[in-house]
Structures are given as structure tokens and as C-alpha cells.
Amino acid sequence: MLPVLLQKIDYIQTVRPTAATDRKRTPPLRLSDLAAAHVRELIVSGQLRAGEFIRPETVADDLGISATPAREGLLLLQTEGFLTIEPRKGFSVTALSSEDIRDVYDAQALLGGELTARAAGVITAELVEELENIQAQLEQAAAGKDYDDVERLNHRFHQTIYRLSGSRKIRWLIKATLPYAPRKFFAAVEGWPEASAHDHRAIIEKLRSGDAEGAREAMAQHIRRAGTLLAEHLAASGTLG
């Protein structure tokens, strides 16, 4: 039987598609990508700390896969800066600082703010209503502490706005910052689900009025707040170097 994490990822991709995948189903993750996603989440959520070693065989056992794709996943995390290879010892978690985390989210805030400003110029009343519906579901999920649904709906909210901007290159750039968001351990970061449930209202109102600069600032503030919460969480957990 496949591990729970693998079942969950398959469920998200095939049964509960986001707005973006309603029209085109997302291809399944490669096993190496699955391994990378699993370990990345453990690091970003604070469950693996700076200096800790992790072996491909351990990841393989956790996910029910072979050691080869597990090692490929760890090599990917090395290129992303999450892991370091130490001679004759293997992979260890690279120390991150609070400044590193905030820098990543500052970059994401600039990019996300620009995408939201562009979306404000073309958004329709129907799409505003769609965002309202997503937000209502997100708030209901947050009230019920269904953090899996909060994460899914938060991702759908942002993707709906970013895709509306039509800016493929900026969307490609912002994607590079997303590994630092602990999607599968969403509830581990205190205040993060609540921020998603409440900050989005200001973004929707600026989009509704077509206020591009207001929408830019509302999105940027939301993303920077998320970065601050994550940095504080990792510092408290002892993950940061």
C-alpha cells in the first residue's frame, strides 16, 4: 500500500483539481520530484533542522519508493540550496537565516504584487465573484480547522489572480520562490492559515475597484506577512542557522 503522503498528492492532483487544472489535468509527479517535495516540506516546516543528516534510504522507506529517485530528489534540493553534500557523510540540511527567508518572500512580494496589479486591469465581475467564492470556502475551512482545504484554496486563490495577469515570465519567476512555502505542513506555521483567511479580502476589494496600485500593495503586504510568520516559526523551531 502506498504511504499516506503519496496518496494525498495523488488525491490533490486527480480528484480535487484547482481552477487551473479544471481545464487541463496536472501530470503526476515524478518519484524524484515527490521525494524532493517531501523533504523540502520537512525542512521548511521545521521538522528537519540545520545540520541534520538525511539518507536517500530513509526517504525511500518513508515514501515506499526505491533509493535511486530518492537520491535524485535530494540532489535537486542541493541545487535549490536546501541541502549540502558533505564528503563521506552524505546530505545535511543547509542552515537558513531569518534574512534568507525574508529575502525570498520580499522577492515573491514584488513579483506577486506586479501580477496582481496587472490582473486588476483586466479582471471582470465574474472573476471577482469567483475569487469571492474561493475566499468564502477558504474562511469556512479555516473556521473548521481543515488546513488541507485552506492550503488548497489559498493556492487556487493566488493562481487564479496570477494566471489572469497573463504574464508567463513573471509567473515562472515567482514559481522559483514557492518551495519555501510549507504547503503540506500548512498548519505547522502559527498564524499562516488565519492570514490566508483574512488578508485576501483586501486584495479582492482592490481588484473589484480596478485599483492596480492598491491591489499590488495588498498582495505584497500579504506575502511579506507570510514570510515573517514563516521566519518566526523556523527560528522558534531551531531550524534557522
Answer yes or no: is pLDDT of 160 > 60: yes
Residue range 200-217, pLDDT digits in tens: 999 999 999 999 999 999
pLDDT tens column, 38-97: 998 888 777 888 889 999 999 999 999 999 999 999 999 998 888 999 888 899 998 878
Grid cell in block for residue 8? 494525498
Domain ranges in the chain are 4-93, 98-237
- Is the model's pLDDT at 16 over the cut of 90? no
- What residues contact 57, with CB distance under 8 A and at least 6 apart? 67, 70
54-76 CB burial, b ≥16 within 10 A, e <16: bebeebbebbebeeebbbbbbbb
Q: Under a CB-based contact definition with an 8 Å cutoff, are residues 208 and 132 in contact?
A: no
Cell numbers representing residue 235 in the block: 527560528
* Res 187 pLDDT > 80: no
Q: Tell me the one-letter amino acid at 127.
A: L
Specify the DSSP class assigned to residue 23: T
53-54 vs 83-86, strand pairing mode: unpaired
CATH of 98-237 among 3.30.70.260, 3.40.50.720, 1.20.120.530, 2.60.40.420 = 1.20.120.530
List the CATH code of the domain at 4-93.
Answer: 1.10.10.10
Confidence of residue 114 (pLDDT cuts 50, 70, 90): very high
* Residue range 131-145, pLDDT digits in tens: 999 999 999 988 888
Predicted pLDDT of residue 44 = 78
Predicted TM-score (pTM) of this structure: 0.73
The grid cell for 15 is 480528484
Tell me what the mean pLDDT of segment 103-108 comes to.
Answer: 92
